[in-house]
Amino acid sequence: MPENSQSKLPLEFDYEEGYAEENITARAGIPLVVETFRVLGLAESVKANLLIKQRQRGLDEAAYGESFIILNAAGGDCLEDFEPLREDRALAKLIGHELPSPEAARKFLYRFPDESKVEEAQRQLGEGQSRSIPAESPELRCLGHVHEDLVAELGRRCPRQRIATIDLDSTIIESGKQEAQPTYQGSRLASLPGGHRSH
């Protein structure tokens, strides 16, 4: 990784036995998730493929990518769950960078949908149809390249593994909005940026 990236190896910390009054975290397993992200080359892949930030300040794309992995690994359900993670100063020290604010994370995600493709898909709806799937934006295609790099690296590390299980389970995010569609569980789906729905 370039020296100016926040996502680089090795993670620079040592384990110490004993009691300390500060720099304590209850999330000591998260750095192992981050280390896996980096060892598999995902930080480099994100930096190479996903060039969507307009300004150089703040977190780079790789740090954003691993921040979302951290949010998921820590059991986060929404962007606001970044707040307690941001308050964990020891975690930031362990992984080498702070986590984004909910607003910064939201702005980062809003760069992925292409509103023109959403509008084009809606114009092409046939009579009686109410849902459409827009074409991928260039940013989403670039994120797909990161996924391809992950699969290739796993294949390189496990050349004799010939079977992969794809988990098609998805997370239902309940919404109180009137336009939200009902799920098979009876709750209503949250609307995502660009008119997409989470399911």
When pLDDT is averaged across residues 55-63 and rounded to a whole number, the result is 85
Which residues, 6+ apart, have CB-to-CB distance to 63 below 8 Å? 5, 6, 7, 97
Nearest to 195 by CA among 120, 127, 113, 73: 113
pLDDT at 8: 73
DSSP 195: G
pLDDT at 128: 78
Q: What is the pLDDT of residues 3-54, one digit of tens each?
A: 567 677 777 766 667 666 677 888 989 999 999 999 999 999 999 998 876 6
Contact by Cβ (8 Å): 38, 67: no
Contact by Cβ (8 Å): 80, 102: yes
Q: What is the pLDDT of residues 142-198, one digit of tens each?
A: 999 999 999 999 999 988 988 878 776 666 666 667 767 677 666 655 544 444 444
pLDDT at 58: 84
Tokens standing for residue 134: 């827009």
Q: Is the pLDDT of residue 2 over 60?
A: no
pLDDT at 173: 67
pLDDT at 145: 95
Q: What is the pLDDT of residues 69-103, one digit of tens each?
A: 999 999 998 999 999 999 999 999 999 999 999 99
When pLDDT is averaged across residues 106-120 and rounded to a whole number, the result is 89
pLDDT at 54: 65
pLDDT at 20: 62
